[in-house]
Structure 1
Amino acid sequence: MNVKTALASNISAELEAAHERYRDANPRSYQQHRKAAEVLPGGNTRTVLYSDPFPITLASAEGCRVTSLDGKEYVDYLGEFTAGLYGHSDPLLREAVESALQSGWVRGGHIEQEEKLARLICDRFPSIERVRFTNSGTEATLYAISAVRAISGRSKVLVFDGAYHGGVFVFKTVQNPLTAPFDFVVAPYNDWDGTRALLEANAQALSCVLIEPMQGSGGCIPASPSFLRQLRDWTEQNGVTLIFDEVMTSRLSGGGLQEMYGITPDITTLGKYIGAGFSFGAFGGREDLMSHFDPSRVGAFSHAGTFNNNVFTMTAGAVGLEKVFTPIIAEQLTERGNSLRERLNEIAAQASFPMQFTGVGSLMNVHMCGGEIESVRDLTGSDMNLRDLFYFDLIERGIWPARRGMFNLSLPMGVLEFSVLEEAVKDFVRVRSKLFTSER
């Protein structure tokens, strides 16, 4: 057995041991999973939350902590995949929800709060002159693409490898059979020469370019500002609509990464935290594009959605943006996240195996590979078993991350929570480096 094979075997053995400890520590979650599997396929209705050998069931949450059905408390570094920005018990948001409860819901009419939330969004994001609400980022993407295709009379949509724009817009290495059947052109992320070649080849049929300024699901990989600027310049010169998916990255400054980089797209899609914990999505942009949704206009696009202006999302969302997550608070959280990621990378650099954290501000992802990471193409050598081992080690230490290695900060987090993660990473580096000593 060669050294590489022996090392892989050692990691697999450690991972199996971690699975056994996990099973022993979470019997009530296992029983709940078996019950759920009787009525849900695989006991699951949201694929990203599934985790083998079985998922832990959460029973409650408070502040920046979650508690499992087995009575174990975790520091919530998953942050509901960025939607949990406010944590779990902000008093101002609780008050907003209680006021919505008292005033009645599912009213079936316009409410004042929808105008207030829309105005806050338009005031914050440079690209958004008019906005429409949906119930998820997936819906927002669907409407944005469909509208631009109808307005332009062109069919093709340029996206990027590694992108995730919602449950039916997935562009990973393995093709997702549920991806919506638009005419997609998939370009190499952060590679201008390769992207420009595809832009030029499809210029006459291209309706829009859709991009995450930082790929979230793809591993918190930021687009370089120069790459985004080149896209902006080309699309302006060629009459192609540029769409920024800021469903995740809108929290990284008062006006998202578009404000941070000074690059204004034609349309922006939003979601996640802006609903303050309730279902939310939105798409907005230039007035001339969005005016196609004006129902008083002849031939306007129809855009329905029973819960688009539901009282809980509109009320809590407006209070959140106005009183809790102000632009100043957004900047401070990004600074804290950048500082934490730098410290984690200093720790990771001491490991005898490749490990690094990518991201911007309060959003980051661990990768078990070396070298500069500019796209998912740079992750082909990542050690997935070692990343899984890291996940189970953190679970044992009372930390709740995404299985895929994503970490998202929330506003209630502070020095204590950051130090808990830093110490856990230090221990992982110290203990698991022993697996690699045979290579030296």
Structure 2
Amino acid sequence: MSSSTSSTSSTQAPLTAALQAATTRFTTRNPRSAALHASALSSMPGGNTRTTLHTSPFPVYMKSGSHHTVTSEDGHVYTDLVGEFTAGLYGHSHPVIQQAIAECVGSVGLNLGAQTAHEITYARDLCARFGLERVRFANSGTEANLHALAAARAFTGRRRVVVFGGGYHGAVLGFAGGKVGRNNVDRGEFTVVVDGYNGEGDGIEGWLEGEGEEGVAAVLVEGMQGAAGAIPGRREWLLEVLEAAKKAGALFILDEVMTSRLSPGGIAELYGLTPDLKTFGKWLGGGLAFGGFGGREDVMSTFDPRSPNALSHGGTFNNNTLAMYVGHAGLSKIYTPEACVQLNRMGDALRERLQELTKGTKLCFSGMGSLLASHFTEEGLEEIVREVPENAQLKDLFWYEMMEEEFWVVRRGNISLILGTPQEELDRFVDAVKAFLERHVELVKV
């Protein structure tokens, strides 16, 4: 028996006991949430309409949010580190966002069934901020990626798409574990999953071969994998992927749905990448549903309705007035380049403190800037470069106990910082992590 196997066996019973005790405390602390979940089961499958939020034995129900905090139906006030999975950048009651909503509803109105001048303003500012020649709006990051792929296929006359294991490009474009999700579109031969993010594993070159429809239309990649656990792409590797795509005549599509908040011009600017197309979503709606995709004018012209052969791109809420006004207000008045740089420096400092604290344990933190994630690996990895197996029980225990410390965190480990979160709360989080490691030293030591 190896030392790692022996260590795992010796800690299994106490870990199970600690987790059972934490689960009991969780149930005791949240009776109202338990009752609401039981009620939800009568009208929704599993009592849920958003899989990401499902947790056992039941989810915590939130009643309200204010600034950087959320309050549960059971009366607990949490510092919000979920940040709506990067979409909640502005918190829950930013006055600029509230004013934009009030002005839009009061002076413009909803569902006008027409184009408005403000969508031009927002489009121009997005193009300027993220280096786009043309942009179109959608309702989510999922839609943005689907339309970007449609553009690539129409522009190149090819069908196949290369993606990477651990990648997540929307509800119907997930590739966890290097596999095509069961509910994915394009499950057949036209989607190729390369199990080698950051060059760890299969190379990309062999997948880029093919002619005509059998050729590769696009390589779709995240500059930092979000759902896999805030795993930064290596700049040199991303540049190699870009060059390989270019050499093969395929388009390089950079999914910036999450990473567009990591620098004033997104991760593309940070790494010096020049994608053919970029996709957006999350925070750019200012808290409302939003999607966008853009890039080269010649590629985006596949959607130009003045052309008889244009791709159709409908969507009742693509240019809805609320998202146009509120999203633009957030980008132009709140998340200025200066504010962006400051928040991401704060996130880097937090991650570095946590990494120093967790050395020699099964816990580590990955990420960039204001986006990070916790990982529990048996090997005690200090750097995560691709999707890796993790100790699910330790992740659950950490989740339960961080909530007891009044931190609202994602069970899978992602942390998305909210503007205006006091430094004192981040300091308190570091202290909570330290206390967790000290409390469970025998469970987390490598």
Common fold: TM-score over 0.5:
yes
The match for 1:327 is 337
The match for 2:193 is 186
Equivalent of residue 228 in structure 1, options 221, 238, 242: 238
The match for 1:79 is 83
| Aligned positions of 1:281-320 closer than 5 A | 281-320=291-330
Task: Please give the alpha-carbon distance, in whole angstroms, between the structure 1 residues aligned to 2:302 and 2:65.
Answer: 42
How big is the shift at 1:202? 4.4
Name the CA shift for 1:214/1:436 in 2 (closer, same or farther; >3 Å).
closer
Question: Is this contact kept in 2: 1:130–1:290, CA < 8 A?
Answer: yes
How big is the shift at 1:293? 1.1
The match for 2:154 is 150
Structure 1 unaligned runs (5+)? none
Question: Is this contact kept in 2: 1:212–1:245, CA < 8 A?
Answer: yes
The code of the aligned residue for 1:9 comes to A
Equivalent of residue 255 in structure 2, options 242, 245, 254: 245
- Partner SS, residue 88 of structure 1: coil
Question: Is this contact kept in 2: 1:7–1:436, CA < 8 A?
Answer: no
The match for 2:130 is 125
The match for 1:373 is 384
The match for 2:285 is 275
Is 1:105 aligned to residue 110 of structure 2?
yes
Name the CA shift for 1:289/1:5 in 2 (closer, same or farther; >3 Å).
same
- Partner SS, residue 227 of structure 2: coil
Task: Please give the alpha-carbon distance, in whole angstroms, between the structure 1 residues aligned to 2:6 and 2:20.
Answer: 21
Q: Deviations over 1:32-61 (max 9, x none)?
A: 111111100111000000111100100000
Task: Please give the alpha-carbon distance, in whole angstroms, between the structure 1 residues aligned to 2:348 and 2:444.
Answer: 29
The match for 1:384 is 392
Is 1:177 aligned to residue 182 of structure 2?
yes
Task: Please give the alpha-carbon distance, in whole angstroms, between the structure 2 residues aligned to 1:356 and 1:217.
Answer: 16
Q: Deviations over 1:288-315 (max 9, x none)?
A: 0111211112221110000011111100
Equivalent of residue 164 in structure 1, options 157, 168, 171: 168
Question: Is this contact kept in 2: 1:275–1:314, CA < 8 A?
Answer: yes
Task: Please give the alpha-carbon distance, in whole angstroms, between the structure 2 residues aligned to 1:200 and 1:101.
Answer: 49
Task: Please give the alpha-carbon distance, in whole angstroms, between the structure 2 residues aligned to 1:420 and 1:305.
Answer: 44
Task: Please give the alpha-carbon distance, in whole angstroms, between the structure 1 residues aligned to 2:340 and 2:186.
Answer: 36
> How many matched pairs?
432
Structure 2 unaligned runs (5+)? none
Question: Is this contact kept in 2: 1:251–1:330, CA < 8 A?
Answer: yes
Name the CA shift for 1:14/1:383 in 2 (closer, same or farther; >3 Å).
same
Task: Please give the alpha-carbon distance, in whole angstroms, between the structure 2 residues aligned to 1:374 and 1:285.
Answer: 28
Name the CA shift for 1:216/1:436 in 2 (closer, same or farther; >3 Å).
closer
Q: Deviations over 1:180-229 (max 9, x none)?
A: 12511111111178323333444761000000000000111011000111
Task: Please give the alpha-carbon distance, in whole angstroms, between the structure 1 residues aligned to 2:370 and 2:420.
Answer: 12
Name the CA shift for 1:159/1:202 in 2 (closer, same or farther; >3 Å).
farther
Question: Is this contact kept in 2: 1:192–1:230, CA < 8 A?
Answer: no
The match for 1:8 is 12
Task: Please give the alpha-carbon distance, in whole angstroms, between the structure 2 residues aligned to 1:436 and 1:87.
Answer: 33
Task: Please give the alpha-carbon distance, in whole angstroms, between the structure 2 residues aligned to 1:30 and 1:293.
Answer: 48
Question: Is this contact kept in 2: 1:203–1:238, CA < 8 A?
Answer: no
Equivalent of residue 424 in structure 2, options 416, 423, 426: 416
How big is the shift at 1:435? 3.6
Name the CA shift for 1:422/1:325 in 2 (closer, same or farther; >3 Å).
same
Equivalent of residue 255 in structure 1, options 253, 265, 270: 265
How big is the shift at 1:112? 1.6
Question: Is this contact kept in 2: 1:192–1:227, CA < 8 A?
Answer: no
The code of the aligned residue for 2:371 comes to L
Task: Please give the alpha-carbon distance, in whole angstroms, between the structure 2 residues aligned to 1:226 and 1:332.
Answer: 26
Equivalent of residue 337 in structure 1, options 347, 363, 385: 347
Q: Deviations over 1:12-51 (max 9, x none)?
A: 1111111110000000011111111110011100000011
Name the CA shift for 1:254/1:202 in 2 (closer, same or farther; >3 Å).
same
How big is the shift at 1:4? 2.8
Equivalent of residue 407 in structure 1, options 415, 418, 423: 415
The code of the aligned residue for 1:359 comes to G
The code of the aligned residue for 2:159 comes to S
Q: Deviations over 1:256-278 (max 9, x none)?
A: 00001111100000000000000
- Partner SS, residue 269 of structure 1: strand
Q: Deviations over 1:359-394 (max 9, x none)?
A: 000000111122332111xx22x2111111001000
How big is the shift at 1:110? 0.7
